[in-house]
Chain A
């Protein structure tokens, strides 16, 4: 079964850091672009970051550029999102997603992990 399982969410103070992880299973992880998409409470979807398959090239939303870093470990089939200088507006459910292959549309999503930023 194709599956993505996020972890690492929690409560963090403004200015703090958090590292999210996403464990993949059931597909050839190495050949797919992976992404993080977030959803603030009661709001719509916002793409955060993507990392390509083998080359590992990265892209970021302007709202997180310079504060978040995406990485992947193909040997462990995991993708990470290192978040620093967190702000209240970063509070959201963070979903890990797999692209469909050839297009940056996402056909597999994890259940999400919740990040709360509050003092």
Chain B
């Protein structure tokens, strides 16, 4: 199975900061990567798919990049509602796999 390693596992930042999360795949997955946001007690919501395609309705401060094995999710200017956990997921090959997540906390 393809392993996804997210770093850091947790991150503290302030409103207005620019933050970047990293997801590394154990093998080349092209651009078959998605990013999700999950707030406490809620189901995940899709932010980005195909590595860099923003889902309709997702604020433009979110962006994704990368291909092959290295991917990033960037939030250009943190808003209070962005403090949550973030997960990457590969859909190149079954079994589908998720990264371990990055928890974004308020500094």
The SS class assigned to the A binding surface is strand
List the A side residues contacting B43 at CB < 8 Å. 95, 109-112
With contacts A103-B32, A103-B91, A104-B91 known, is A46 near B46, CB below 8 A? no
Q: Are the CB atoms of A62 and B1 closer together than 8 Å?
A: yes
B66 at the interface (CB under 8 A from A): no
- Chain B min CB distance to A1 (Å): 14
Q: Count how many pairs of residues, one from A and one from B, have CB atoms less than 8 Å apart in the complex.
A: 61
CA distance A59 to B94 in the complex (A): 7
- Chain B min CB distance to A60 (Å): 8
Residue in contact with B98 in the complex, picked from A46, A62, A100, CB distance below 8 Å: A46
List B71-107 residues whose CB lies under 8 Å from chain A.
87, 89, 91, 94-101
CA distance A99 to B60 in the complex (A): 22
Q: Are the CB atoms of A100 and B46 closer together than 8 Å?
A: yes
- Chain A min CB distance to B87 (Å): 6
Q: Are the CB atoms of B95 and A62 closer together than 8 Å?
A: yes
Q: Which A residue sits closest to B92, measured CB to CB?
A: A104
Residue in contact with B89 in the complex, picked from A60, A61, A105, CB distance below 8 Å: A105
List the A side residues contacting B46 at CB < 8 Å. 100, 105-107
Q: Mark A26-61, 1 if CB is under 8 A from B, else 0.
A: 000000000101000000111100100000000111
Q: Are the CB atoms of B94 and A45 closer together than 8 Å?
A: no
- Chain A min CB distance to B29 (Å): 12
Q: Are the CB atoms of A50 and B100 closer together than 8 Å?
A: no
Residue in contact with A104 in the complex, picked from B1, B45, B96, B100, CB distance below 8 Å: B96
Q: Are the CB atoms of B49 and A45 closer together than 8 Å?
A: no
CA distance A111 to B44 in the complex (A): 9
- Chain B min CB distance to A29 (Å): 18
List A45-85 residues whose CB lies under 8 Å from chain B.
45-47, 50, 59-62
Q: Are the CB atoms of B44 and A44 closer together than 8 Å?
A: no
Enumerate 17 A-B pairs (CB-CB under 8 Å) in ascending A order. A44-B87, A45-B36, A45-B101, A47-B95, A50-B96, A59-B95, A95-B43, A100-B49, A103-B32, A103-B91, A105-B34, A105-B91, A106-B44, A107-B46, A107-B55, A109-B44, A112-B43
